[in-house]
């Protein structure tokens, strides 16, 4: 590097340092203001939200605060220099490259050990500092991997420039993951350095043939392409890739005396080629030139951009974190509010009174009000579902008792007046009220309420029935002897009055049965009815004048007594109902404090921290908006790269690959020959048998471990047994197809397993060529992941199975390899010279097996091969002695690495081999066995093959049996796992259906309670109206009005006042039933849309779920059926009966209520007959006719008792042409019941499927036990 260049570099870095110092102070002040804002939120949250979620959030904020403070502390520590950091996987040559850049003496460079660098150590490179970092993905030879990687991450964080180092052995998927995670986070400019560990690449004298040079360069290009593709996949675009030979660069630049590894080769190469050529051939000047150009032209922009970008990165992370946390908190709060708080408030009622609000007070604050300030008011009604439930059930339970009490009350009053007795309130209470029945009804309702609220809130219910007895109200006193002085006056009976009443009865029946031909025969009597009725009234008045005053007083007292006793009964029942309701409200209030308040606290906590997150994110975004415009350091670097290309461009379209990937050596005239010559390579000291002895003497022992005591034929017998047992199991038939093919093929299987680019395909190619077999057309050698499925090649009596490599970015490759290896009779596990790097889960699965997956451990039948041993770090041709020492060290290190993972393996069972020494054969299709002869003395293949031949017969005897048994176990495990997953899905579906079933039953019960409640309300209105009309008749003394009222009583159901009452009842019932139906469909739809159903039935096209309102089976059946029966809309009509129908919400055609009219008309005929009895009761007041009057009064009561239910039924249920509201609700309830039966059937079907799968899994277990027994048992014990 020239002095002019150095001066420019020094000046650029000095300016960058100065600018960054000023910017650092400014940005630190902004950051401190943000920290102050964050601390304010911490104080606010600490004082207002005591729940755990806010505590976690506060800890999170404190961590972010500390992160910002650490950022500036780190920057202050490195701000006085321009910093270049080397980052990458362990063993990629980072330390070697730094020593080459800084012209060190090689002391920090590993002598072949993994995880050599354990600390971040800077070294001066002119005016910059270059940082070496611990390698990632190591196996933790002396330090934990996580500790080493954390140190590396720290260095990347404070870097101005990052050199991401890869090597030619492979680029693991996890390497790129860490690059993306660490480098992208801080927006660092990146150069990818590809350290080619092939010792003859760009060493022209060692590769005299141009085609061989081109082949080696194609491999480099494949590595570079893979690196760029993988970087692009993690959003790292525009990253230059520079290929170098780091070790050769160190040999060229190292300061003497040299203390690094392979000193002998350094001295040899310097003597043989010279330092300048070694430097040129290393391609390091190309990398160095790019660094210098980029720093010279962009040092200030890179430093300032890095500083701002790093802070921006922290702020972005903070904003994303706060935004995500805020959204998550608000989302969780919304779920809590929608699924817990709102339903509970609907259940218990929204608190509107001060007393109700007290349940939500905590630490002097109305927590519900505070929550509503943040999210808006809850829409729950003040009257909760629980209260409505209690009232409905009380109405239903007490309605029948109340009717019974009213009848008894009227009976008591009538009897008192008839006998002229005086009875007390206590006597009335005993006759009219059954306190035990009322208490039993209340207990029943509260028990149901207990079950209801427990079911809806999952909370314990406290017994609240104990004080109900004290709440029974006393009945009022009733006096029955009023008007006794007037009772025994004159009287007169006029028979004509009785006859007239009978004539009226006949006339009424004729009108009622106008459609019945038999009714017309009595039609002539219709005219008599009017006269007869009038005569009855006149004769009755003349006969009763002398008793008028006494009778009037008595009737008035009778009417008042009836009204009082009825009012008393209503009051007692209403107050008793209120008392029970109050007890229920206590339950609701208690539940609010114990159930709703914790949920409110949690939601308020979440809302508060969501608000805090939004404020912090807003402040951080404000700071970001004030920062300078973001620079793109990678773009600056790419522009420097293009400028470097232009400076050397000579019109060659391949200038990029020649310059950056070193392809220029292909045409280097030094040592270049025009034709390929297979001449023998100069013999090395490896020809000495003493050198070979220690390296290859254990090959026979390695093969000996492959044989076992599995009985010949046991695998085939087991497979026949399994095929027979699994007849009819289509899944098993498919799974066992490959296993049956292995049995038919009858050849042991030797699987090649390992990470991608460990040379598995090259290994197979070498084995095939060495026995004279041609290279198959589908066998290709490439540097990037190529093999994507198992491929079988015949090798003598064995099948060689090439498998996809682990640790590529193709997950499908890893899965294919994992599914393949259980079928192996024996395994060749190939490692790279870096040994265990990255994710070793697949390796452990192969060697240690898995009891859960029925993968038999393969370690005892595995050959451990460190392949590509020519890349261990010492050229076996130039320095065979050091190579042997390094190979022995690698054997020991791999043994230790395996031992640290619980795999005991002697170093003697680990082989160092080279399937394609120096990559000189590669993908050549014209290669033969002779192509490897120049390196055959040390690459280990001859020794490997000879050792195999000695045990081949033993392997052939039982190899297939082992493949069948171990492969069968693995397939059984996969079948079991698949069936288990299906069973879990079925369990989830059964559970989801079960919960839906409970919901449908709950809504069905709600509908039944609602229908019963409205029927009870209707009954009360009808009873009250009928009783009112009856009382008016019984209390009337004026003959004219008595006649009119008696006539009206005979058609009491047509009373206009009753029509109004029924219309009001219908409107309320219609609205509430419609609301119930809508809510039923909504809650069912919400259940279908829930996360539980999405998990249980992930594919909506699969027809194994229950019918839903969204599919043809569900909606058409579930909604339309109700629409046909409920029809809650009004219409138009022309008579009083239609007025009643309108109140019920029917859709009537003109005169559409005639069926109801007929039904009520029939009741009129019966009522008219009782009217005769009523008339007689008014005429015969004499004492000796007491029994007759008593009989007439009872007949009247019985008649009303019969007609009231019929009127209620006609209104509530309708008829065949038009069903009533309650009947419509009943039909909808019937649909819900049918739906629940359908769901129950669906659930049973799921349970039957589960039972069937369990039976099948039991069979798999039996077959698995049999296979384990054939393999000798105890397969997964520690060895």
Whether the predicted pLDDT of 142 surpasses 70: no
Which among 1151, 1158, 1155, 1147 has a CA at the least distance from the CA of 1133? 1151
| Token reading at 153 | 């991450």
233-247, 474-488, 656-670: the lowest-pLDDT one: 474-488
27-41, 93-107, 195-209, 807-821: the lowest-pLDDT one: 27-41
Instruction: Indicate whether 1058 and 912 sit together in one domain.
Output: no
Instruction: Indicate whether 1018 and 1083 sit together in one domain.
Output: yes
Within 10 A of 993 (CB to CB), how many other CB atoms are there?
Answer: 25
More confident residue, 1020 or 1131: 1020
Instruction: Indicate whether 942 and 1000 sit together in one domain.
Output: no
| Contact (Cβ atoms closer than 8 angstroms) between residue 1174 and residue 1033 | yes
pLDDT of the residue at 1265: 93
More confident residue, 1094 or 1256: 1256
Domain around 98: 82-282
Cα separation, 718 vs 494, in Å, equals: 112
Mean pLDDT computed over 146-157: 66
Mean pLDDT computed over 1217-1226: 84
Instruction: Indicate whether 1052 and 938 sit together in one domain.
Output: no
pLDDT of the residue at 947: 79
- Quick check: helix, strand or coil at residue 137? coil
Whether the predicted pLDDT of 139 surpasses 60: no
Whether the predicted pLDDT of 1264 surpasses 90: yes
Whether the predicted pLDDT of 529 surpasses 60: no
- pLDDT tens digits, one per residue of 900-909: 888 888 888 8
Looking at mean pLDDT, say which of 304-318, 340-354, 529-543 comes out highest. Answer: 340-354
Q: Is residue 234 part of a domain?
A: yes
| Contact (Cβ atoms closer than 8 angstroms) between residue 166 and residue 193 | yes
pLDDT of the residue at 552: 60
Sheet strands (E) in 1145-1267: none
Whether the predicted pLDDT of 156 surpasses 50: yes
More confident residue, 511 or 1192: 1192
pLDDT of the residue at 792: 93
275-284, 309-318, 969-978: the lowest-pLDDT one: 309-318
Cis peptide before 257 (omega within 30 of 0): yes
Whether the predicted pLDDT of 531 surpasses 60: no
More confident residue, 951 or 857: 857
Domain boundary (907, 935, 957) is at 957
Which among 521, 525, 531 has a CA at the least distance from the CA of 505? 525
Phi and psi angles of residue 698, each rounded to the nearest 5 degrees, phi first? -95, 5
The CATH number of the domain holding residue 191 is 3.40.50.300
Q: Is residue 987 part of a domain?
A: no
- Percent of the chain whose predicted confidence (pLDDT) is above 70: 75
Length of the chain equals 1279
Mean pLDDT computed over 1130-1136: 26
Cβ neighbourhood burial of 268 (10 Å; 0-12, 13-18, 19+): middle
Confidence tier at 787 by pLDDT (50, 70, 90): confident
338-342, 344-348, 721-725, 1090-1094: the lowest-pLDDT one: 1090-1094
pLDDT of the residue at 210: 87
More confident residue, 473 or 1270: 1270
538-555: b or e for each residue (b if 16 or more CB lie within 10 Å)? bbbbebbeebeebbbbbb
Mean pLDDT computed over 784-799: 86
| Contact (Cβ atoms closer than 8 angstroms) between residue 910 and residue 895 | yes
Phi and psi angles of residue 856, each rounded to the nearest 5 degrees, phi first? -70, 135
Whether the predicted pLDDT of 772 surpasses 60: yes
Instruction: Indicate whether 1199 and 1063 sit together in one domain.
Output: yes
pLDDT of the residue at 1240: 92
Q: Is residue 565 part of a domain?
A: no
Q: Is residue 1257 part of a domain?
A: no
Beta-bridged to residue 831, according to DSSP, are 866
Confidence tier at 152 by pLDDT (50, 70, 90): low
pLDDT of the residue at 793: 93
First vs last C-alpha separation in the chain? 59
The residue whose two tokens read 């192509």 is 931
Q: Is residue 201 part of a domain?
A: yes
Q: Is residue 548 part of a domain?
A: no
| Token reading at 419 | 């006998």
Whether the predicted pLDDT of 1087 surpasses 80: no
Whether the predicted pLDDT of 841 surpasses 80: yes
Confidence tier at 7 by pLDDT (50, 70, 90): very low
Cα separation, 429 vs 438, in Å, equals: 12
Q: Is residue 649 part of a domain?
A: no
Whole-number Cα distances in Å, 1104 to 123, 386, 419, 1249: 67, 36, 74, 11
| Contact (Cβ atoms closer than 8 angstroms) between residue 194 and residue 227 | yes
The single-letter DSSP state of residue 339 is I
Which among 931, 892, 998 has a CA at the least distance from the CA of 209? 931
Instruction: Indicate whether 937 and 1069 sit together in one domain.
Output: no
1004-1013, 1163-1172, 1244-1253: the lowest-pLDDT one: 1163-1172
Whether the predicted pLDDT of 1147 surpasses 80: no
Whether the predicted pLDDT of 880 surpasses 90: no
Q: Is residue 96 part of a domain?
A: yes
Instruction: Indicate whether 923 and 1004 sit together in one domain.
Output: no
pLDDT of the residue at 724: 93
pLDDT of the residue at 186: 72
DSSP 641-704: HHHHHHHH--S-TTHHHHHHS-GGGGG--TT-BSS---PPPPP-GGGSHHHHHHHHTTHHHHHH
Domain boundary (231, 255, 282) is at 282
Confidence tier at 88 by pLDDT (50, 70, 90): confident
Phi/psi class of residue 1060: alpha, beta or left (left: φ > 0; alpha: ψ in -120 to 50)? alpha
Cα separation, 162 vs 227, in Å, equals: 16
More confident residue, 1152 or 931: 931
Whether the predicted pLDDT of 723 surpasses 80: yes
- pLDDT tens digits, one per residue of 9-65: 777 777 777 777 777 777 777 778 888 878 877 777 766 555 555 666 777 777 778
DSSP 355-384: HHHGGGEETTEEHHHHHHHHH------SS-
Domain boundary (219, 251, 282) is at 282
More confident residue, 371 or 1114: 371
- Quick check: helix, strand or coil at residue 204? helix
Instruction: Indicate whether 911 and 1020 sit together in one domain.
Output: no
Whether the predicted pLDDT of 720 surpasses 90: yes
The CATH number of the domain holding residue 817 is 3.40.50
Instruction: Indicate whether 1074 and 925 sit together in one domain.
Output: no
Cα separation, 337 vs 596, in Å, equals: 10
Confidence tier at 698 by pLDDT (50, 70, 90): low
The average confidence (pLDDT) of the chain is 75
Whether the predicted pLDDT of 1102 surpasses 70: no
Whether the predicted pLDDT of 974 surpasses 80: yes
Pairing of strands 241-244, 190-195: parallel
pLDDT of the residue at 105: 92
Phi and psi angles of residue 922, each rounded to the nearest 5 degrees, phi first? 55, -130
pLDDT of the residue at 897: 86
Instruction: Indicate whether 912 and 811 sit together in one domain.
Output: yes
Cα separation, 930 vs 936, in Å, equals: 9
Mean pLDDT computed over 514-524: 31
Cα separation, 651 vs 655, in Å, equals: 8
Instruction: Indicate whether 891 and 1014 sit together in one domain.
Output: no
- pLDDT tens digits, one per residue of 541-555: 334 444 455 556 666
Whether the predicted pLDDT of 514 surpasses 80: no
Instruction: Indicate whether 893 and 1026 sit together in one domain.
Output: no
- pLDDT tens digits, one per residue of 648-681: 766 677 788 888 999 999 988 888 885 544 434 4
Structural domains of the chain, count:
3
The residue whose two tokens read 């000796």 is 1184
What predicted TM-score, i.e. pTM, was given to this entire model? 0.65
Whole-number Cα distances in Å, 934 to 61, 213, 673, 683, 918: 65, 17, 18, 8, 11
């Amino acid at each position: 590097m020239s002095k002019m260049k150095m001066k420019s570099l020094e000046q650029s870095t000095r300016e960058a340092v100065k600018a960054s110092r000023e910017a650092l102070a400014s940005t630190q002040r902004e950051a401190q203001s943000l920290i102050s804002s964050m601390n304010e939120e911490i104080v606010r949250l600490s004082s207002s939200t005591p729940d755990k979620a806010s505590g976690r959030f506060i800890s999170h904020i404190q961590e972010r605060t500390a992160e910002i403070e650490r950022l500036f502390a780190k920057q202050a520590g490195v701000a006085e220099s321009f910093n270049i950091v080397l980052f990458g996987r362990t063993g990629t040559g980072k330390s070697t490259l730094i020593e080459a850049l800084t012209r060190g003496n090689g002391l920090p460079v590993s002598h072949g050990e993994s995880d050599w660098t354990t600390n971040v150590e800077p070294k001066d490179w002119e005016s910059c500092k270059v940082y070496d970092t611990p390698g990632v993905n190591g196996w933790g030879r002396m330090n934990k991997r996580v500790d080493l990687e954390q140190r590396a991450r720290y260095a990347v964080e404070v870097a101005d420039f990052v050199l991401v180092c890869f090597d030619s052995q492979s680029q693991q998927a996890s390497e790129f993951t860490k690059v993306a995670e660490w480098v992208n986070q801080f927006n660092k400019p990146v150069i990818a350095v590809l350290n080619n560990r092939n010792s003859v690449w760009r060493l022209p004298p060692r590769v005299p043939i141009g085609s061989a040079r081109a082949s080696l360069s194609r491999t480099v290009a494949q590595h570079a392409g893979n690196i760029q593709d993988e970087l692009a996949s993690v959003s790292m675009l525009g990253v230059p890739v520079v290929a170098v030979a780091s070790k050769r660069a160190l040999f060229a630049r190292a300061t003497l005396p040299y203390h690094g590894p392979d000193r002998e080769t350094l001295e040899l190469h310097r003597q043989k080629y010279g330092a300048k050529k070694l430097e040129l051939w290393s391609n390091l000047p190309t990398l160095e030139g790019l660094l210098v150009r980029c720093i010279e032209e962009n040092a200030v922009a890179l430093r300032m951009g890095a500083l701002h970008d790093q802070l921006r990165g922290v702020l972005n992370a903070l904003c994303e974190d706060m935004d995500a946390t805020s959204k998550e908190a608000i989302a969780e709060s919304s779920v809590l509010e929608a699924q817990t708080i709102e339903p509970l408030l609907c259940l218990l009622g929204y608190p509107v009174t001060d007393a109700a609000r007290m349940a939500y007070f905590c630490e002097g604050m109305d927590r519900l009000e505070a929550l509503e300030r943040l999210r808006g008011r809850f829409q729950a009604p003040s009257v909760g579902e629980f209260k409505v439930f209690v009232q409905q059930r009380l109405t239903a339970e007490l309605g029948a008792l109340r009717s019974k009490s009213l009848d008894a009350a009227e009976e008591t009053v009538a009897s008192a007046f008839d006998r002229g007795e005086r009875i007390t309130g206590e006597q009335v209470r005993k006759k009219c009220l059954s306190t035990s029945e009322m208490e039993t009804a209340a207990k029943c309702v509260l028990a149901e309420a207990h079950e209801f609220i427990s079911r809806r809130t999952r909370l314990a219910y406290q017994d609240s029935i104990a004080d109900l007895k004290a709440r029974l109200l006393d009945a009022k006193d009733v006096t029955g002897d009023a008007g006794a002085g007037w009772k025994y006056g004159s009287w007169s009976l006029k028979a004509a009055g009785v006859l007239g009443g009978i004539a009226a009865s006949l006339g009424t029946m004729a009108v009622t049965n106008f459609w019945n031909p038999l009714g017309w025969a009595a039609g002539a009597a219709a005219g008599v009815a009017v006269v007869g009725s009038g005569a009855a009234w006149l004769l009755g008045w003349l006969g009763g004048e002398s008793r008028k005053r006494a009778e009037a007083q008595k009737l008035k007292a009778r009417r008042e007594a009836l009204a009082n006793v009825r009012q008393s009964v209503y009051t007692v029942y209403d107050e008793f109902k209120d008392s029970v309701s109050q007890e229920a409200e206590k339950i609701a209030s208690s539940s609010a404090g114990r159930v709703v308040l914790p949920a409110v606290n949690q939601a308020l906590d979440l809302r508060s921290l969501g608000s805090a997150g939004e404020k912090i994110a807003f402040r951080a975004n404000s700071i970001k908006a004030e920062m300078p415009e973001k620079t793109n350091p990678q773009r600056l670097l790419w522009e420097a790269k293009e400028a470097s290309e232009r400076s050397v461009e000579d019109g060659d379209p391949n200038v990029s690959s020649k310059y950056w990937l070193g392809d220029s050596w292909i045409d280097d005239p030094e040592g270049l020959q025009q034709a390929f010559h297979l001449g023998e390579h100069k013999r090395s000291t490896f020809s000495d048998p003493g050198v070979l002895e220690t390296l290859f003497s254990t090959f026979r022992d390695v093969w000996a471990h492959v044989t076992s005591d599995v009985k010949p034929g046991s695998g085939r017998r087991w497979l026949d047994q399994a095929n027979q047992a699994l007849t009819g199991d289509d899944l098993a038939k498919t799974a066992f197809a490959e296993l049956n093919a292995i049995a038919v093929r009858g050849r042991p299987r030797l699987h090649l397993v390992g990470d991608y680019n460990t040379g598995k395909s090259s290994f197979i190619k070498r084995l095939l060529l060495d026995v004279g077999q041609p290279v198959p057309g589908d066998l290709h050698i490439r540097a990037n992941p190529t093999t994507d499925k198992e491929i079988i090649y015949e090798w003598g009596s064995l099948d060689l199975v090439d498998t996809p490599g682990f640790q590529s970015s193709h997950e499908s490759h890893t899965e294919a390899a994992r599914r393949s290896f259980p079928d192996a009779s024996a395994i060749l596990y190939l490692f790279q010279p870096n040994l265990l790097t990255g994710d070793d889960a697949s390796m452990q699965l192969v060697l240690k097996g898995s009891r859960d997956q029925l993968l038999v451990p393969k370690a005892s039948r595995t050959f451990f091969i460190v392949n590509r041993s020519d890349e261990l770090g010492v050229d076996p041709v130039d320095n065979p002695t050091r190579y042997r020492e390094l190979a022995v060290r690698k054997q020991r290190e791999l043994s230790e690495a395996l031992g640290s993972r619980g795999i005991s393996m002697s170093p003697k069972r680990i082989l160092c081999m080279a399937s394609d020494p120096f990559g000189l054969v590669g993908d050549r299709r014209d290669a033969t066995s002779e192509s490897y002869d120049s390196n055959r003395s040390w690459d280990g293949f001859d020794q490997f093959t000879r050792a195999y031949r000695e045990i081949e017969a033993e392997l052939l005897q039982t190899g297939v049996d082992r493949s069948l048994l171990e492969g069968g176990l693995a397939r059984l495990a996969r079948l079991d796992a698949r069936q288990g997953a299906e069973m879990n899905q079925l369990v989830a579906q059964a559970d989801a259906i079960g919960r839906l079933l409970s919901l449908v039953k709950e809504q069905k019960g709600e509908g039944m309670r609602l229908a019963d409640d409205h029927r009870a309300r209707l009954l009360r209105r009808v009873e009250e109206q009928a009783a009112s009309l009856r009382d008016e008749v019984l209390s009337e003394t004026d003959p004219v009005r008595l006649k009119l009222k008696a006539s009206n009583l005979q058609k009491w159901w047509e009373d206009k006042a009753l029509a109004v009452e029924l219309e009001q009842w219908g409107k309320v019932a219609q609205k509430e039933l419609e609301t119930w139906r809508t809510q039923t469909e909504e809650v069912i739809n919400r259940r279908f849309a829930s996360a539980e159903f999405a998990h249980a039935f992930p594919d909506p096209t699969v027809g194994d779920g229950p019918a839903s309102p969204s599919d043809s089976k569900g909606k058409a059946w579930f909604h339309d059926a109700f629409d046909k029966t409920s029809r809650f809309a009004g219409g138009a009509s022309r008579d009083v009966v239609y007025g009643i129908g309108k109140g019920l919400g029917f859709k009537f055609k003109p005169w559409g209520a005639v069926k109801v009219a007929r039904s009520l008309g029939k009741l009129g005929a019966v009522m008219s007959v009782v009217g005769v009895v009523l008339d007689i009761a008014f005429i015969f007041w004499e004492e000796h006719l007491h029994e007759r009057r008593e009989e007439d009064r009872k007949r009247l009561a019985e008649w009303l008792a019969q007609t009231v239910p019929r009127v209620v039924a006609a209104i509530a249920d309708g008829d065949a042409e038009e069903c009533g509201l309650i009947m419509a609700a009943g039909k909808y309830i019937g649909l819900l019941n049918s739906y629940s039966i359908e769901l129950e059937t669906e659930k049973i079907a799921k349970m039957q499927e589960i039972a069937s799968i369990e039976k099948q899994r039991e069979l798999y277990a039996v077959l698995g036990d049999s296979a384990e027994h054939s393999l000798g048992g105890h397969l997964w014990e520690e060895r």
